[in-house]
Structure 1
Amino acid sequence: MDEVLATILRRDPEQREFHQAVGELLATIRPVLDRHPEYRRHAVVERLVEPERMIMFRVPWMDDQGAIHVNRGYRVEMNSAIGPYKGGLRFHPSVNLSIIKFLAFEQVFKNSLTTLAMGGAKGGADFDPKGRSDAEIMRFCQAFMAELFRHIGEDTDVPAGDIGVGAREIGYLFGMYKKLQNKFTGVLTGKGLAWGGSLIRPEATGYGVVYFTAAMLAHRGETLAGKRCLVSGSGNVAQFVAEKIVQMGGTVLSLSDSSGHIYDEEGIDASKLEFIKTLKNIHRGRIGEYSERYPHALYVAANPTLGWNPLWRYPADCALPAATQNELNLADAQHLAAAGVRLVCEGANMPSTPEAIAFFRDQGILFGPAKAANAGGVAVSGLEMAQDAMRISWSREEVEGRLRAIMHTIHRTCLEAAAAYGLEGDYLAGANIAGFVKVADAMLDQGLV
């Protein structure tokens, strides 16, 4: 495994996020490789860390003033051993090949854990939708799909949304795909309810994180009711994490965006959360406006020079980072422990640095890794694919019931996989082992392809 990581570092020295994702997996699957020498003999790991296909393309588009811009688009189709490629599209100026590869790599094992037949992929562009008009976003999405359509399909690769890609963007992307291919298929998930979407899809990732958190607590004989929770982010995932915590009797103390964070000691209840949804989803406002509406709440502007995030210093029981990768470092982890936090469950993709994760595990803090805890979004995307294939639509109750059952199954799978290797209660090791074994066995069954 050291040789595998050394090869990756030599081949792609600048891809730090991808190195981190691979390193985390390799550190926990060594016992599996020792027990199953066939994985080493057939170079399963070496094949897993190399994408089956990487697509990069230019995206030229015109703004409302007639100026032409050129962005870079990506789609990394990582592994299709257990099903067609599945994973989101991210539109954000930070997007680069390393980030897309790390997300695609994580997606392989996340999808494996859902019990659904989906491989792993990810894509996106270094386009910033903030401040752009609907017409500009439509033109960008159409230009992006004018290249991507060649590489996707309902039985090949099914993209979804991610940061910067919501219902509006999915609609524009789908419309262009339909025009180019002259067919109406379930090639994208996250679609509108009137044209093939699924109920609960917007809520799925956030709800799933909370169902996983509740399952972790239940395993210790506790419930979420009465727990005080720190949540970062204020986008789709964070909003529905907060909503489900409130529904299950917990208290949400914080939310954030790139400008800073709010801390409401009284709790962000359902009515306050509706204000935040309107602020962020309709007015595209900043989180600081919350304290203008609710003056008792504290607003703290972001200060990157600190090297740590003050959001993680407030007394709480649980922390759910739901903003972006590597937002929670070792100093933050130490602050959480000092503040009394005994459970951390990841809502974003890889939001905790390796040093933070090591600290949580050393301190006996319950840690739910993203590839298990935030699998709810892709699980319901898989359910949307099933509904599209059958040309039917399930009720809200049925979809949420299936989501809850999937998250409970993932929780049980993580515990059982960890216990099988003498690592009782280690959710990180359990998630990595269970996800890896399913994909590795499929690769062996299908030969050297």
Structure 2
Amino acid sequence: MTKAQEYVATVKEAIQRRDPEQTEFQEAVFAVLDSLIPVLDKHPEYIKANLLERMVEPERVIEFRVPWQDDAGNYQVNRGYRVQFNSAIGPYKGGLRFHPSVNLSTVKFLGFEQIFKNSLTGLPIGGGKGGSDFDPKGKSDSEVMRFCQSFMTELARHIGPDLDVPAGDIGVGGREVGYLFGAYKRLRGFENGVLTGKGLTFGGSAARVEATGYGLLYYTQSMLDAHNDSLKGKKIKISGSGNVALYALQKANELGAKVITVSDSDGFIYDPDGIDYSAVKEIKEIERGRIKEYAQKVSTAHYMEGSVWNYDIDYDVALPCATQNEIDQKQAELMVKDHVKYICEGANMPSMPEAIKTYNENNIYYGPAKAANAGGVAVSALEMSQNSERLSWSFDQVNNKLETIMHYIFSKSETAAKEYGVEGNYQAGANIAGFEKVATAMMAQGLV
């Protein structure tokens, strides 16, 4: 065992000893640490400075209660979180997630991933994440507003345009960001850059809604280009039907691919003629319906319950855009059987470790979430720039910058993988490229 391997094992043991119950966090961290061993072999000064243990421990963890009143006049209490993980290259940046599954382990794993994702964009933003176990689903606008106001009453103490800039995530869309921004403004005054994902009338950026889905396709396009391949004519499975999936669908169609599935938590639709973006948008954004309604509108479509990844049909590209840990080993093995060549992640960590191992063992090219879905945070950072300059860029300006950033992310990951002897392993390449920038900054800044 090399000195670097011994050091990584020591850091893993420390994490398990301190937080044995935080399994999501451990899964995210361990996947990164193993891929960094070649870097540590080359840079023993990182071991001497105990850089990894410093990096896996958040700079600050904030946990607070969020009391609010429902429409029936009953008092409710949820938990709120903000993990300010690493500010070596810029202010903390990362979304807020409102979902019953949110706990400290989830927020820490997302925040840790955000460090590397933000670093990969090439923009000056550090890593953070937050949220609550509040579920906005089924709540009235008034209930969501009261919750957001209560949540921000505490969060406002800990954020600011040059300190920590939250954005949206699962359960936090334009409505929630608007309420959060309004509450912050009443408490602290008008600071336009304190939240991103805002409405266009009060400092938001064009293309922010589309950014993660569009960025996913730009990254996927770069991956195929690297293998002298093209998206044109490819059959694609997409999971999910939220913002990421919806705009990935739109961009895939524009680039000449055929998307044959989208899904929600109940089931999925399969359309051999290709999914109609306009029909999905109408169901999900206007009617706020379920995806099974698509089969009632489009005669060539079939609706089935369960996971789209259990559906056995030949296709070329997998784009999981629903949620974490949605693909297990058996489902990955089915991808192999179905002749999938590429998988790029639109959701945060949708593939379980055993699934990723299956991709690698069967020569499926794998684009990890920290690289492939970085389009959202990239445009959030561009929104911060526009706010700082008191400017508003056009949709085309932002979209062109987004495309450039996503091609840059793939290129950096590809180059890092080659440099450290793992060519074609884009997960390791993304981890290494993201880590090196943060590590250099931390070493330069001393014991912080």
The reply to whether TM is greater than 0.5 is: yes
Matched, 1:348 2:347: yes
2:87 counterpart letter in structure 1: S
Give the secondary-structure state (helix, strand or coil) at the position aligned to 1:165.
Answer: coil
Matched, 1:282 2:282: no
Distance 1:9 1:233 in 2: 32
Give the secondary-structure state (helix, strand or coil) at the position aligned to 1:153.
Answer: coil
Tell me which residue corresponds to 2:232.
225
Distance 2:160 2:416 in 1: 33
Give the secondary-structure state (helix, strand or coil) at the position aligned to 2:57.
Answer: coil
Distance 2:133 2:305 in 1: 25
Structure 1 residue 59: Cα displacement: 0.5
2:160 to 148, 153, 158: 153
Alignment of 1:399-418 (within 5 A): 399-418=398-417
Structure 1 residue 184: Cα displacement: 3.1
Alignment of 1:167-178 (within 5 A): 167-178=174-185
Structure 1 residue 279: Cα displacement: 1.6
Moved over 6 A (4+): none
Give the secondary-structure state (helix, strand or coil) at the position aligned to 1:300.
Answer: strand
Matched, 1:56 2:55: no
Comparing 94-103 and 183-192, the one that deviates more? 183-192
Contact 2:314 2:339 (8 Å CA) reproduced: yes
Q: What is the TM-score normalised by the length of structure 1?
A: 0.97
Distance 2:190 2:373 in 1: 32
Give the secondary-structure state (helix, strand or coil) at the position aligned to 1:429.
Answer: helix
Give the secondary-structure state (helix, strand or coil) at the position aligned to 2:71.
Answer: coil
Distance 1:100 1:239 in 2: 25
2:116 counterpart letter in structure 1: F
Tell me which residue corresponds to 2:306.
302
1:84 to 82, 86, 91: 91
2:303 counterpart letter in structure 1: Y
Give the secondary-structure state (helix, strand or coil) at the position aligned to 1:253.
Answer: strand
Tell me which residue corresponds to 2:297.
293
Alignment of 1:77-156 (within 5 A): 77-156=84-163
Tell me which residue corresponds to 2:390.
391
Tell me which residue corresponds to 2:4.
none
CA displacement, residues 13-45 of structure 1 (integer Å, 9 cap, x when unaligned): 111110010010011000100110010000110
Q: What is the TM-score normalised by the length of structure 2?
A: 0.97
2:382 counterpart letter in structure 1: L
1:47 to 27, 48, 54: 54
Tell me which residue corresponds to 2:79.
72
Distance 2:92 2:416 in 1: 25
Alignment of 1:180-191 (within 5 A): 180-191=187-198
Distance 1:111 1:255 in 2: 28
Matched, 1:202 2:209: yes
Tell me which residue corresponds to 1:20.
27
Tell me which residue corresponds to 2:5.
none
Contact 2:240 2:262 (8 Å CA) reproduced: yes
Distance 2:278 2:135 in 1: 25
Structure 1 residue 283: Cα displacement: 2.6
Distance 2:245 2:70 in 1: 31
Distance 2:437 2:101 in 1: 32
Structure 1 residue 235: Cα displacement: 0.5
Distance 2:79 2:321 in 1: 26
CA displacement, residues 141-190 of structure 1 (integer Å, 9 cap, x when unaligned): 11110110000000000000000000110000000000000223210000
- Alignment: residue pair count: 441
Distance 2:292 2:20 in 1: 38
Give the secondary-structure state (helix, strand or coil) at the position aligned to 1:151.
Answer: coil
Structure 1 residue 56: Cα displacement: 0.4
Distance 2:434 2:282 in 1: 37
Structure 1 residue 99: Cα displacement: 0.6
Alignment of 1:425-440 (within 5 A): 425-440=424-439
Structure 1 residue 373: Cα displacement: 0.6
Aligned CA RMSD, in angstroms, stands at: 1.0
Distance 1:253 1:310 in 2: 14
Structure 1 residue 278: Cα displacement: 2.3
Distance 2:174 2:278 in 1: 19
